[in-house]
Structure 1
């Protein structure tokens, strides 16, 4: 990219967007990343309409300037607002924040990239929308559209968030508008009610791809059920895991529709939510086994904890509780059911307890309340505190958390694992073997994304101020990927520093996707290197 081209393009973009719409990328905002990866970003463009997005892309094509769209830039642990390659101009879509259509009868809503989890919750509350927001643990400020396109998931009834996308509207790299055939033929309403449309399913190209800038999606929402009851279970005996895993699968099959997802968390993952990181007891950044055991004993943390929710009528929920007791009883030490009424009672009881005990009970009640809010489709940032366990300055209560700007070191490793006891054990052994070699504590969550497959999330937490620790964390990700490749545990999404995994000319996928990219974007100006091998720009 020569300076003449970027300056000429910048002048045209300023004409389109105004002076305030073309800004510099400061290290504190767009340049910040929890991964510690640094990209050179020549400029940031802030359009307010899809027409401006189209004009931006036409200028980018004319001057062959690479651009990289972000929704809100809160892609924590995968790159935040940073592009996959250097020298990409950021297109910040956060000001495209309209909720343009909502059908309360059918339960579908059409949103732009800047619509956050929190914004949709507020909208539904104002319009008596009795539906759940497809929330994640990333917090209320994160884009629904961005998460869906990355195939994010949650534990509310529509677990797979891209599965809930029924319609897509995008601007192609040459600035033209893409709409699905049903919409173009005059069937916009039914298009939003039926995911697959008519003809080849081209909408999938815009999920984990770089074939266009998605400026709108229609989402199917899950209706608010009569009752939401959380259930928590645990086992103190790690050797019971092989029996617990198939039982989780049996629960999902027996209670399909009422129980849609279950999380399993190891003791270190639970401790990260309950106690500050004891740096003085760590050896080269890693907590020894005896320290973990001592902390777990003092905080009452078992080897494995599980959490899920029942979404059902009162009658069905009662039957579901019986089924859960029958199935989980033989392989767990404890199974409890919690609803908002019980949490409210616990919070009232804290007023009658002595100091330290009151603080502990209040903390547990607050955590449970936050978990229940997420299960009710109300986003919060309770889970986001994890990013601060090893580094970063946790903001005061009531202030928004931004792990990238707050100095947190976090990289997500998120592989897929079959729901089999022996496979879960092989996977856990792999994580516990590899992570400590790089100064990373093995915090493991296994989340069911259907009744056949877990997605595991392992947060690689490190001190971002330490250059060596940052390098080790990125090396750890690579080591986990290569070991997982041998064992059959591969990630379902990639961070910006790992896109070369798919940029492999020997893969049939790479060849076909590159051919499609070359046809749609011959100059490779849109998000080069993002999942699809670059057809022109090869510099990194």
Structure 2
């Protein structure tokens, strides 16, 4: 019986033990852990696969770029792969567990310096262990009128990690990679590069000019395993003056209204009257936000209303909507600028929706919302607030299972409606509910669908896997690309983009990481496959 929880593929126990000894000689025993207790948090998964497939062999905690350079040297010597995480709060996409069994988790949470914040031009330079909450507290402590765009699990996620996975948020800076500027990256051979203008000695524009000179390479290190990002520049919003932020919610009573909602909002979005990455949330996602558990693990979820294991009947779904007073669709957005600009734009926005929907739209502002917790959660997100609020989405079904299916739709009414109908049919076929939000980008929609299921039920685990697989197959056949996925389906998503792209990715991997030591399997890139 092995003394290790798991071993990397193709690495003997003797070889792995020598590697661990070298890692410990470099970092000390406390920062190189192989015991089951220390690895437990890295084994927790929300995808419908066995934890055995994703067990790490060890976890390593570096504190500097120089240590990472030496770590990759040892990894190359012994062929011990490294699965890099920043904070590991990758909810819906695989958490902190490695894509394949036996990888060493390289946990960068101990590299948590806010290197620099420039209030004048609105940018920062941070290490991977810095969270959105850390930045928010830094701004508050130093009385800086700056906002950082945050994703839904805002507080404990990392700007570096979320940007590297091309995540999105809810302010006008919602496309995170678009609003990043300059990276420091350790390559698999230990070389350190700085992208953009970062290669210049004493560069004064590293976080202000994205492009530098020659081919733009920053994208190579997003959703990839071609390097380890150790610093990232992030552009920040200047907070508007008092009275210059106006969040609002509109509730719509019928599912069939989705095309008209999109048709009404997109001209306002494209003209920047509504400037933020606003959202259209369905009843399931919205209602789940109100679900809570007490200290004994009991509380309200969908099972309170329906004891069956299948998808909710329409009548029961309506009961949940009525209890929590949520719309079939719930549109959250905000206006930004001077108080005068906000007041004028609000006339355009409210007027457009009233003209289209009349009494079939309920408009709620901060005044009407009062102390509603979900409105407050969304208000914080749309102003870059890093909340610590427990979001009740995962209480919807119970049992700890969640996979975010994330196709992209062109922001056309017909395409969004088609995606909604196809997804609902497939989910209901397997006994699951359609729980979703559309995040409205510049000309696209990030259609985030949470497949929530019970991991304690083997039969339900099997159905969840089959359901997600069919979602991917059908959406790909219809020309809908998946922009981000969990570790169980990374290879399938990679194949959906064509052999040409896979060939390029593997050529880059062979050139930059011939020993396949950096996160094999990430985004379907693995030289052993």
Q: Same fold (TM over 0.5)?
A: yes
Q: Pick from 148, 162, 176: which aligns with 1:133?
A: 148
- More off after superposition, 330-339 vs 440-449: 330-339
User: Which of 428, 450, 474 is 1:483 aligned to?
Assistant: 474
Q: Secondary structure at the match of 1:259?
A: coil
Aligned residues of 1:118 and 1:141 also touching (Cα < 8 A): yes
CA distance in 2, matches of 1:473, 1:35: 9
Q: Which residue of 2 aligns with 1:273?
A: 289
Give, in whole Å, the separation in 2 of the partners of 1:489 and 1:331: 29
Aligned to 1:228: 245
Distance in 1 of aligned mates of 2:493 and 2:289: 34
The residue that corresponds to 1:16 in the other structure is 26
Match of 1:193 in 2: 208
Of 431, 436, 460, 1:469 maps to 460
Distance 1:300 1:366, change over 3 A: closer
**In structure 1, what is the Cα distance between the partners aligned to 2:154 and 2:235?**
20
Cα-to-partner distance string for 1:422-443 (whole Å, 9 max, x where unaligned): 1112111111100022221111
Task: Map Cα deviations across residues 478-519 of structure 1 (whole Å, 9 max, x no partner).
Answer: 111111112222211121111112554961011111111101
Contact 2:302 2:396 in 1 (8 A): no
Gaps of 5+ in 1: 348-364, 393-407
Equivalent-residue separation in structure 1 for 2:82 and 2:254 (angstroms) = 51
Q: For the structure 1 residues 330 and 28, does the alpha-carbon distance in structure 2 shift closer, same or farther, using more than 3 Å as the test?
A: farther
Alpha-carbon deviation of 1:381? Answer: 4.0
- The residue matched to 1:423 in structure 2 has which SS? helix
C-alpha distance in 2, partners of 1:237/1:439? 22
Deviation at 1:181, TM superposition (A): 5.7
Q: 1-side partners of 2:431 and 2:255: how far apart?
A: 23
Kindly indicate whether the alpha-carbon contact (under 8 Å) linking 2:169 and 2:381 is maintained by their aligned counterparts in 1.
Answer: no
Cross-structure match for 1:389: 396
Change (3 A) 1:367 1:298: closer
Corresponding position of 1:255: 272
Contact 1:137 1:379 (8 Å CA) reproduced: no
Structure 2: 5+ residue stretches without partners = 1-10, 292-299
2:332 is equivalent to residue 307 of structure 1: yes
Distance 1:288 1:170 in 2: 50
Query: Which residue of 74, 96, 107 maps to 1:81?
Result: 96
Partner of 1:399: none
Structure 1 position 477, deviation (Å): 1.2
Query: Runs of 4 or more off by more than 3 Å in structure 1?
Result: 25-28, 297-300, 502-506
Of the three residues 318, 331, 336, the one matched with 2:343 is 318
| Paired residues for 1:69-468 under 5 Å | 69-180=84-195, 182-186=197-201, 188-226=203-241, 227-256=244-273, 258-275=274-291, 276-279=300-303, 281-332=306-357, 333-339=360-366, 346-347=370-371, 365-382=372-389, 384-391=391-398, 408-450=400-442, 452-468=443-459
Contact 1:517 1:532 in 2 (8 A): no
Mapping for residues 459-538 of structure 1, pairs under 5 Å: 459-504=450-495, 507-535=499-527, 537-538=528-529
Structure 1 SS opposite 2:71: helix
Stretch deviating more after TM superposition (465-474 or 164-173): 465-474
**CA–CA distance in 2 between the matches of 1:283 and 1:342?**
36
State the secondary structure of the residue aligned to 2:193: strand
**Residue matched to 1:28:** 40
Greater mean alpha carbon deviation, residues 243-252 or residues 258-267: 258-267
> Shift of the alpha carbon at 1:247?
1.1
Deviates more, 1:183-192 or 1:430-439: 183-192
User: What is the deviation of 1:252?
Assistant: 0.4
Aligned position for 2:3: none
How big is the shift at 1:271? 2.2
Counterpart for residue 352 of structure 1? none
